[in-house]
Amino acid sequence: MFLRDFISVLGGEAIGEVAQPLLGVGTLECATAQQISFLANAKYRRSLALTQAGAVIVAPADRDSSNLPRIVVDNPYAYFARVSQLFAPRQSHAAGVHASAVIAASAKVALNASIAEFVSVGEHCVIGEHVRLGAGCVIGDDVVIEANSELVARVVVYAGCQIGARTTIHAGVVIGADGFGFANENGVWLKIPQTGRVVIGDDCEIGANTTIDRGAIEDTVIGNDVKLDNQIQIGHNCRIGDHSIVAGCTGIAGSTTIGQRVMIGGAVSITGHLSICDDAVLSANAFVTKSITEPGMYSSGLPLMPHREWLKNAAQLRHLDEIVETLKTVAKEIRKPGTST
Amino acid sequence: MFLRDFISVLGGEAIGEVAQPLLGVGTLECATAQQISFLANAKYRRSLALTQAGAVIVAPADRDSSNLPRIVVDNPYAYFARVSQLFAPRQSHAAGVHASAVIAASAKVALNASIAEFVSVGEHCVIGEHVRLGAGCVIGDDVVIEANSELVARVVVYAGCQIGARTTIHAGVVIGADGFGFANENGVWLKIPQTGRVVIGDDCEIGANTTIDRGAIEDTVIGNDVKLDNQIQIGHNCRIGDHSIVAGCTGIAGSTTIGQRVMIGGAVSITGHLSICDDAVLSANAFVTKSITEPGMYSSGLPLMPHREWLKNAAQLRHLDEIVETLKTVAKEIRKPGTST
Amino acid sequence: MFLRDFISVLGGEAIGEVAQPLLGVGTLECATAQQISFLANAKYRRSLALTQAGAVIVAPADRDSSNLPRIVVDNPYAYFARVSQLFAPRQSHAAGVHASAVIAASAKVALNASIAEFVSVGEHCVIGEHVRLGAGCVIGDDVVIEANSELVARVVVYAGCQIGARTTIHAGVVIGADGFGFANENGVWLKIPQTGRVVIGDDCEIGANTTIDRGAIEDTVIGNDVKLDNQIQIGHNCRIGDHSIVAGCTGIAGSTTIGQRVMIGGAVSITGHLSICDDAVLSANAFVTKSITEPGMYSSGLPLMPHREWLKNAAQLRHLDEIVETLKTVAKEIRKPGTST
């Protein structure tokens, strides 16, 4: 493709033009003359000067930072995403049901859906137009999956759950397993049946081996355009608002509500029954035990240090309260009349 | 159902009676007039006053906190669990082996067991009465699964492992993969064959995508009535005592022993070769590097703060030991004869 | 086997000989007279004195620490690993393709490979000599798996990924799912197609339910002799050097490079775009936000304490910066001329 091809489809302003058609995208460091790259962060401007890319996508502020053929747009990263999508259109799958799939008689499967080998679909399911169920998916009874969604492979969806349109669910995900609810009676755990569902919106993406538990009584609800990375655990009754995004290995305990446009880093732990407000940002490894009511970025976590220093510092951490008491005493003493001038 | 129906099956004292039969359970906030709710924690007493539930389960102390038809019992939460079980009895599965399942000739499968599509059962396995193996489960050779246990879907059990009676294992669980054991020889890792088993007791529940490794030489042992949430990792040779409960995303490294009735929060990390005594409680995100010998609740973790404050505080954390030294010097100096009165 | 049998295959010096053949390995604490044990760590020397083992493997320094028949070698743990391998040779699987497997017409599967039930192999795959694909594995198009590797069960390998020789991948692993890449455009997330691959070297082992994402543009690369435990998450574009080892529940965010012979403990979080140098050691639960340029051991994490103490100490942690300011003021004040002698 030439720059003019991108412009005609995606807009933006072209400065110059490539001599040979572009064949794909690349990073500034690794792109070849047949690839287009982008600069979205000023700290990589040095790479822009050195890149071997055939063309670049830049913001207006970097309009003159390069002599390469270039496209100038307000949001180079988003434009790059769209260019990448042009080069790598989503794979389509042949319509039809593989002979080995086991589809319950009462399930309704769209004729243009693609059901791979070793898939199970339970009673009364509704599988929408152009839905793809990859190899080994297990869909319980009464599940609804709306149009154009894809379950890549080996995804399990328990009975009664709902998945919106254009949602992608990666391999190994488990949707709708029982929430963790037990009552203790004389030292023995009684199971509390988990009768809610998981309801997932449109345009979501859920990463490999992530788990989302069904609600205890009400539903666990994932909004629209929510992006969950790999190996995330979402407890029962949680609600995650539209456009929120969560990085890998994060765990959210039961009955916690996450607002809209919340950004949660990797390996964050959020305890249960909290409320995280719209537009909050939690940095990686944050440990959240209280609700957040003001937008902004929040952090916790002890920084890394050489092991010997950590041993010394960690030992003091156990006594921080006493240290502060000593300090108070000292401060008081020094300010007594007669000691300080 | 009417309150009298619950009383006749489960005991307790009814005060008043519902006019219309109850159809299910609900939370105080969301229950309708056809649902029964409960108050187990005094801090929700305000919700009791506002609930639209048709009836409630309360403790003796709250006998008069509501005018609704109610059941008074010592443990409202456990009673609620039993009521929920009456409304949502465990799903039963048709007995028999699906035509697509691959069962080794030497395996013994109870006639009333239910083996779903795409299940593999290895040589010499013993699958007990009323066991359910859901779609896509892979059972290695020489595995024993006792009566009334259920492997929901896509559970893998490696060769030689044992699972007790009435145990539920959710989708994506892997039981008995090799423990992580390697010896370094001149910079190259040599595998130590992991020849122990995993032995799981009766009445356990194991959450989605949890992994329990087989022992290196001896077995990894999970007791009776142990409840493990999703995405937990249990290392080789661990032992977990009866009635212990572990929340999601927790990792327990190899050869650690957990006592009975231990409660472990989510995202806890426990290093290897430790011993955690009976009745210990570890709060969420705790990092455990030493054995615990006294019951009680233990915690760690830096609390969350606005990112700018965290940056300042975290910088000081690296120097805590020096801070304490300075404080000691100051305290000593101030107490020198002549400086303080 | 007798000690002389080990010596003849594995080298080392035998002192004494067992009267009866040894049948297996055991720990010092549990071994019987038919088992051989080892002492690799001086702190277990007391167990050596008490062991019921029939023979032991010891280092030259412990040559005379026992009267048992023994083998003296420089690296007892590595020798023990090799002895264990003699007792527990890797299981072999019958060659051939199970009738239920779905193999694309264009895939090349070695005649002596072993393909179990319910396996899918996509177009243009190359499955090498003696490769084992266990039940339920899903192999996308254009995947190469080299000789003698084993995917135990229910492993998913996305299209285009490569796996070296003699590599073992445990159940539930997902190789090559999309990396987590989205660009925000006016509050909506645009997917950035993830077109790189995952390339895994020879002699690796990957634990149950671990996930390794494909690169965004370039590849995610795992070197040779890399050992990954269970439930690890490796983000897109990461590179892990030869002979590195990572314990369970660790997460490595995208575009981070790990050197050679790096040892990473369990539940470590490493943020993205970092570089960890050769021979670094990260202890369990470490939180890594900056690159590491010097070999050595690094740690972080607040130590565990009784909950009441933690509450008090954690409250002060939020104010550490102010505490230090107070301390500085006090120190300054006390050293003013006239206040201290």
HEC secondary structure over chain B: CCHHHHHHHHCCEEECCCCCCCCEECCCCCCCCCEEEECCCHHHHHHHHHCCCCEEEECHHHCCCCCCCEEECCCHHHHHHHHHHHHCCCCCCCCEECCCCEECCCCEECCCCEECCCCEECCCCEECCCCEECCCCEECCCCEECCCCEECCCCEECCCCEECCCCEECCCCEEEECCCCEEEECCEEEECCCCCCEEECCCCEECCCCEEECCCCCCEEECCCCEECCCCEECCCCEECCCCEECCCCEECCCCEECCCCEECCCCEECCCCEECCCEEECCCCEECCCECCCEEEECCCCCEEHHHHHHHHHHHCCHHHHHHHHHHHHHHHCCECCEC
- Note whether A135 contacts C120, CB cutoff 8 Å: yes
How large is the average pLDDT for residues C228-241? Answer: 98
- Note whether C190 contacts A81, CB cutoff 8 Å: yes
Q: Which residue of B has its CA nearest to A280?
A: B306
How large is the average pLDDT for residues C137-154? Answer: 98
Res. B338: pLDDT tops 70: no
- Annotated catalytic residue, options C236, C243, C273, C307: C236
pLDDT at B41: 87
pLDDT at A337: 62
Q: What is the mean pLDDT of chain B?
A: 95
Confidence band for A334, pLDDT divided at 50, 70 and 90: confident
Q: Which of C141, C233, C234, C246 to mutate to test the interface with A (most CBs of A within 10 A)?
A: C233
Taking only the tens place, the pLDDT of each residue in A55-97 is 999 999 999 999 999 999 999 999 999 999 999 988 889 999 9
d(CA B282, CA B262): 8
The alpha-carbon gap from B337 to the nearest alpha carbon of chain A, in Å, equals 11
The answer to which of C30-34, C56-60, C237-241, C329-333 has the lowest mean pLDDT is C329-333
Burial of A5 (0-12, 13-18, 19+ CB in 10 A): middle
Report in angstroms the alpha-carbon separations of A61 from A37, C144, C145: 16, 45, 47
Q: Which of B117, B170, B192, B273 to mutate to test the interface with C (most CBs of C within 10 A)?
A: B192
Confidence band for C337, pLDDT divided at 50, 70 and 90: low
Neighbours of C, requiring at least 3 CB pairs below 8 Å, are: A, B
Taking only the tens place, the pLDDT of each residue in A204-232 is 999 999 999 999 999 999 999 999 999 99
Domain boundaries, chain A: 3-87, 96-298, 306-341
pLDDT at B334: 77
The CATH number given to B3-87 is 3.40.1390.10
Share of chain C above pLDDT 70, in %: 98
Q: Which residue of C has its CA nearest to B327?
A: C327
Q: Which residue of B has its CA nearest to A184?
A: B78
Global pTM value: 0.96
Q: Which of B231, B243, B268, B335 to mutate to test the interface with A (most CBs of A within 10 A)?
A: B231
- Note whether A296 contacts B303, CB cutoff 8 Å: no
Is residue B286 less than 8 Å (CB to CB) from chain C? yes
C-alpha angle C274-C275-C281 in degrees, rounded to nearest 5 = 110
Taking only the tens place, the pLDDT of each residue in B279-295 is 999 999 999 999 999 99
How large is the average pLDDT for residues C258-282? Answer: 98
Taking only the tens place, the pLDDT of each residue in B118-134 is 999 999 999 999 999 99
Confidence band for B335, pLDDT divided at 50, 70 and 90: confident
Confidence band for B341, pLDDT divided at 50, 70 and 90: very low
Give contacts of B 125-164 with A, CB under 8 A.
Answer: 134-136, 152-154
Residues of chain A with C-beta less than 8 angstroms from the C-beta of B317: 302-303, 313, 317
The alpha-carbon gap from A191 to the nearest alpha carbon of chain C, in Å, equals 26
Residues of chain A with C-beta less than 8 angstroms from the C-beta of B80: 183, 192
Which of B117, B225, B306 lies closest to A189 in CB terms? Answer: B225
Res. A340: pLDDT tops 60: no
Is residue B20 less than 8 Å (CB to CB) from chain C? no
- Note whether C312 contacts A321, CB cutoff 8 Å: yes
Nearest alpha-carbon partner for B268 in B289, B294, B241: B289
- Note whether C75 contacts B183, CB cutoff 8 Å: yes
Give contacts of A 82-111 with B, CB under 8 A.
Answer: 100, 102
Which of C30, C100, C307 lies closest to B283 in CB terms? Answer: C307
Q: What is the mean pLDDT of chain A?
A: 95
Q: Which of C103, C125, C137, C138 to mutate to test the interface with A (most CBs of A within 10 A)?
A: C138
The answer to which of A302-311, B248-257, B275-284 has the lowest mean pLDDT is A302-311
Taking a C-beta distance cutoff of 8 angstroms, is the pair A131, A112 a contact?
A: no
- Note whether C154 contacts A153, CB cutoff 8 Å: no
How large is the average pLDDT for residues A170-195? Answer: 97
Which of B120, B156, B338 lies closest to C117 in CB terms? Answer: B120
How large is the average pLDDT for residues C191-213? Answer: 98
Is residue B285 less than 8 Å (CB to CB) from chain A? yes
- Note whether A321 contacts C313, CB cutoff 8 Å: yes
Is residue B10 less than 8 Å (CB to CB) from chain A? no
Which of A30, A78, A301 lies closest to C184 in CB terms? Answer: A78
Nearest alpha-carbon partner for B174 in B226, B136, B223, B148: B136
**Encoding tokens for residue C182?**
């989205």
The alpha-carbon gap from B241 to the nearest alpha carbon of chain C, in Å, equals 20
Q: Which residue of B has its CA nearest to C136?
A: B136
Share of chain A above pLDDT 70, in %: 98
Res. A341: pLDDT tops 70: no
Residues of chain C with C-beta less than 8 angstroms from the C-beta of A116: 120
Q: Which residue of A has its CA nearest to B116?
A: A120
Q: How many CB pairs under 8 A join B and C?
A: 233
Which of C168, C306, C334 lies closest to B333 in CB terms? Answer: C334
Is residue C170 less than 8 Å (CB to CB) from chain B? yes
- Note whether A287 contacts B304, CB cutoff 8 Å: yes
Q: Which residue of B has its CA nearest to C74?
A: B185
Taking a C-beta distance cutoff of 8 angstroms, is the pair B262, B279 a contact?
A: yes
Give contacts of B 171-230 with C, CB under 8 A.
Answer: 172, 174, 177-178, 180, 182-185, 187-193, 195, 209, 211, 213, 217-218
Which of C87, C230, C285 lies closest to B177 in CB terms? Answer: C230
Taking only the tens place, the pLDDT of each residue in A155-165 is 999 999 999 99
Give contacts of B 49-88 with C, CB under 8 A.
Answer: none
pLDDT at B340: 46
- Note whether A217 contacts B27, CB cutoff 8 Å: yes
The residues of A annotated as belonging to the active site are: 236
- Note whether B287 contacts C304, CB cutoff 8 Å: yes
Q: Which residue of A has its CA nearest to B326?
A: A327
The residues of B annotated as belonging to the active site are: 236
Res. B117: pLDDT tops 90: yes
Res. C340: pLDDT tops 80: no
Which of C249, C287, C317 lies closest to A304 in CB terms? Answer: C287
Is residue C289 less than 8 Å (CB to CB) from chain A? yes
Is residue A317 less than 8 Å (CB to CB) from chain B? yes
Give the class (CATH, top level) of B96-298.
mainly beta
pLDDT at A329: 86
